[in-house]
Amino acid sequence: MILDAHTHIFPEEVCRRREDFFAEEPAFRLLYENPQAKLIGPEELLQAMDEAGVEAAVVLGFPWRQERHFRRHNEVLLEAMRRWPRRLLGFCAAHPLFPGALREVERCLAAGARGVGELAFYLKDRGEGLTSLLAPVAELCQHYGVPLMLHATDRAGPEYPGRSLTPLAAIYRAIKALPETTWILAHWGGRLPFYGLLKKEAAEAFKNVYFDTAASPYIYRPLIYRVVAEMVGPEKILFGSDYPLLPVSRYLQEMAEAQLSEDVKELILGKNLAQLLGWKQ
């Protein structure tokens, strides 16, 4: 069983004419100005899932600034869930600093969205006020019993479009301040799993925290699977492909190179996400 915790789809008009959205959405431009950065809709994702043997996938929103953009994208996600309820699990999103965002998140969660994310801060360091910025969204996630996915990368790593400017210490403070929120930290949470080595507080702080593998082949050696499993436990790791950024096969190859046990692979590839979202075959 393969369940993908991290994929991206966009409205048809965004896929067709991405440049129309650059002027009002600088973060979108940062990530997708390069025409090699692929944009797809739900049908293309489903075809790729069939080819890779993926049974279900989380489809993520984007932290748009403009209300008409995030409402349109979230409608596409909700419609995809209605059409393929067993296969596509929609997470809604909107940039929490901009008008209408919180109202939109609540609308989508009431309509059946399975989570919120991927929230990201690509253009500015939000570390100073991150907890207060995320708290209203986190409270909605708690109320509806769904996870909040946050883009988390290592600022000490190489430069690339989409690297988060938010310090990991700020993310850790937010997690500790909002302990009842279920968190999915994308991209292995940067170096945050290393906090799992702290003697006293890490186990409690990470009680409701999961780490996905999105973009792992671009950033880390295959050994990362075994290292993170040792630091926080294999039950905390969710397979996420970041498709269409990378195909599922790249991750399966790296898991093989990491020489994971079959039990651990089963947890990472699907069992953990199934339990988290209540998904059944």
Longest CA–CA span in the chain (Å) reads: 51
DSSP-based three-state secondary structure for 93: coil
Q: Tokens standing for 252?
A: 């399966």
Residue 278 pLDDT: 97
Which residue, 146, 214, 205, 211, is CA-closest to 184? Answer: 211
Domain 3-277 has CATH 3.20.20.140: yes
Residue 124 DSSP one-character state: S
Which amino acid, residue 50? D
* Burial state string for 93-120 with b = 16 or more CB within 10 A and e = fewer than 16: bbbbebeebeebbbebbeeebbbbbbbb
Q: What is the pTM of this model?
A: 0.96
- Place 226 in a pLDDT band, splitting at 50, 70 and 90: very high
- Place 131 in a pLDDT band, splitting at 50, 70 and 90: very high
Instruction: Taking the CA atoms of 41, 46, 51 and 52 in sequence, report the sign of the dihedral they define.
Output: positive
- Place 128 in a pLDDT band, splitting at 50, 70 and 90: confident
List the beta bridge partners of residue 150. Answer: 119, 185
Domain boundaries, the chain: 3-277
Residue 254 pLDDT: 98
- Place 119 in a pLDDT band, splitting at 50, 70 and 90: very high
CA–CA gap between residue 144 and residue 146 (Å, rounded): 6
Which amino acid, residue 51? E
